[in-house]
Chain A
Amino acid sequence: MKILVTVAEVAEVEDDFEVDGLGIDERYLTYDLNEWDDYAVEAAVGIQEAGEDVEVVSVTVGPERADETIRMALAKGVDRAIRVWDDDLASTEYLDSTTKAEVLAAVAAEEEPDLVLTGVQSGDSAFGATGVSLAERIGFEWAAVVNHLDYEAGDDQASVRRELEGGVEELTDVETPAVLTIQTGINDPRYASLRGIRQAQSKEIAPKELADLGLDASATEGAVSLTELYEPETVSDATVYEGSSEETAGQLADLLRDKGVVEG
């Protein structure tokens, strides 16, 4: 069987940054594997290790730079990777979840996986929609925000727990093939071993363009466009203590005494 796991490279913003037009100046961005996807990769590799003859393929929509991130997934046990990018995607100002789901659906149509795992959301754009949109597009059943998964390669059903608000979990049986969006904490993502990192060098990252997937630029055209990006005005009226660590700690200590948290 085959598991397709979507991995995104996400941008993290440094503490101090500047906005540049509709984005953040590159100087202030670092890139990393999306936190939620790390757990999805682990879940996929876990199923692979527990079963026989399971292939794990990752798919990324992103520029060549993302290969570095994808190698981390390969080093953790993903067998091969697909990365979709071309000039049309590169010039798309706002790569929303609809566009991503459309591209991923075209990849799924080619790969014909039995199970798709995605992260619940990506840390940068936080749409939280790609996995379930993808499921609907490819006619798979799905479950969102999965923090426990009971599934063995070949099963025609996955038993999952969905983590609802307020410490309540929903127990759900989901027919496969399915898309599951994976929540952090579901497992303990492994570190890439040195051996894994070496092996990853020889694994395939297949670059694809929209045209290779039977799509064209219209896949990137939507009714939603980004028109503003700005640092929110601080609504904060926090009293920020100034001075050395000893001085600020002293001021906070006074506050805590005033509030009666600590006596004397």
Chain B
Amino acid sequence: MTVLGITEHRRGDLRDVSFELATVGRELADATDSELHLAVVGGEVEAFADDLDREGVDVVHTVDEGEEFNHDVYVQAVEALHDDLDPDVLLMPHSVNGLDYAPAVASRLSLPFVTDAIGVHRDDGLAVTREMYGSKVETVVDVDADRVALTVRPGEWPPVEGTGDADVSAFEVDVDESQVRSTVTGFEEVGGGDVDITDADVLVSVGRGIEEEENLALIEALADTLGATLSSSRPIVDNGWLPKNRQVGQSGKVVTPEVYIAIGISGAVQHVAGMKGAETIVAINDDPSAPIYDLADYGIVDDLFDVVPALIEEFGGEPPEV
């Protein structure tokens, strides 16, 4: 049997999730004594294949179609690979591009589909762990089928390491151009601006718990008092209260400060993706079940509107009225 993982690259580099997916793939393959196949579609496929030839990888399939990701091409390529290899598990990343093609592939191949896996367990059947309700609960879903498609949460598994002795095999796909109905015309970096939050040693980061734009003054005062840089979770930027360059997370900046103080931030997975590398994490959140506490080194389970003014006063500052 075969486990097939579809790797991901962007602008010339394989993305980390490719190597993480190989780890899950090996885990699943070992459970049934199967082979692990990886595929890379588009870009410098040969160089990518070299890099993907790591411990535990049996075969790397290269599909030399296009430079960058195009979901119409990916859907056709993965469908063709699936037809040819007949894998019992098809793994794809739960990345933004994964969100853009994996559901279409699963639907086209009529495969049972489970997304955003954070754990897998396989003996008789396949059990997949995933989260619900903003990470407040975990669920296990059983898949009762011979074939399945899964997307894997980035950052959950260690990347596969070491060098391997995989076969590299070029896979030809007859791309039906009439089915390519979208065109990527370019890329743009966003969020330059006044401050680079990735440079900061201390970040005071604010989330939706702040409720109103006016109340931001309180967090700004704390940042001033501490000589820290102000950053935020996504809703604050979505509301236009802070510019995009202040956003921490998957679609924002990845930061690694010495101290990260998360105030009124729940710790959604996409936020955590940007700040879990901080040396010391402090959370101020009135919800003891907020997922940020799984990550925090220090926490205050209390109303931020009580704690933050008290903290400013501790350092001789004067908290603004909010």
Contact = CB atoms under 8 A, between A and B. Distances in A.
Interface stretch (B40-48, B53-61, B138-146): B138-146
Nearest to B68: A170
Nearest to B269: A126
A230 B119 CA distance: 14
Nearest to A131: B103
B82 to A, nearest CB: 14
B133 A141 contact: no
Contacts of B286: 15
A247 B303 CA distance: 13
Contacts, number: 268
Contact of A120 (B99, B182, B240): B99
A21 interface: no
A185 B141 contact: no
B252 A174 contact: no
A202 interface: no
Interface string B87-120: 0000000111101111110111000111110000
Contacts of A248: 300, 302, 307, 310
Interface stretch (B23-31, B157-165, B213-221, B289-297): B289-297
A235 interface: yes
A255 B310 contact: no
A261 interface: yes
A129 B99 contact: yes
A142, A170, A223 interface centre (most CB from chain B within 10 Å): A223
B103 A145 contact: no
A56 B110 CA distance: 30
B144 A239 contact: no
Interface in A108-158: 120, 123-133, 135-137, 141-145
Given A126-B132, A133-B107, A252-B298, A168 B139 contact: no
A12 interface: yes
A233 to B, nearest CB: 9
B111 to A, nearest CB: 9
Contacts of A169: 187-190
Nearest to A225: B142
A227 interface: yes
B277 interface: no
A181 B228 CA distance: 36
Nearest to B182: A174
Interface stretch (A59-67, A81-89, A93-101, A207-215): A93-101
A239 B94 contact: no
B168 interface: no
B132 A124 contact: yes
A261 B104 contact: no
A194 interface: no
Interface in A149-183: 161-175, 181
B interface secondary structure, majority: mixed
Contact of A174 (B148, B181, B191, B307): B181
Contact of A133 (B104, B148, B190): B104
B211 interface: no
A167 B137 contact: no
Given A98-B113, A170-B184, A226-B139, A12 B97 contact: no
Given A127-B115, A262-B226, A245 B96 contact: no
A24 interface: yes
Contacts of A262: 225-227, 315
B116 A128 contact: yes
Interface in B167-184: 181-184
B32 interface: no
B80 interface: no
B137 A19 contact: yes
A132 B133 contact: no
A249 B314 CA distance: 7
B124 interface: no
A235 to B, nearest CB: 5
B318 interface: no
For the complex of A and B, the 5 pairs showing the least CB-CB separation, nearest first, are: A249-B310, A185-B238, A245-B306, A253-B314, A223-B145
8 contacts: A15-B289, A144-B96, A171-B185, A223-B145, A232-B137, A234-B294, A238-B296, A250-B310
Interface of A: 11-13, 15-17, 19, 24, 94, 96-98, 101, 120, 123-133, 135-137, 141-145, 161-175, 181, 184-185, 188, 222-232, 234-241, 245-246, 248-250, 252-253, 255-256, 259, 261-262
Given A170-B187, A223-B112, 12 more contacts: A15-B286, A24-B133, A97-B103, A126-B132, A127-B115, A145-B96, A162-B96, A167-B189, A168-B10, A174-B181, A249-B310, A262-B226
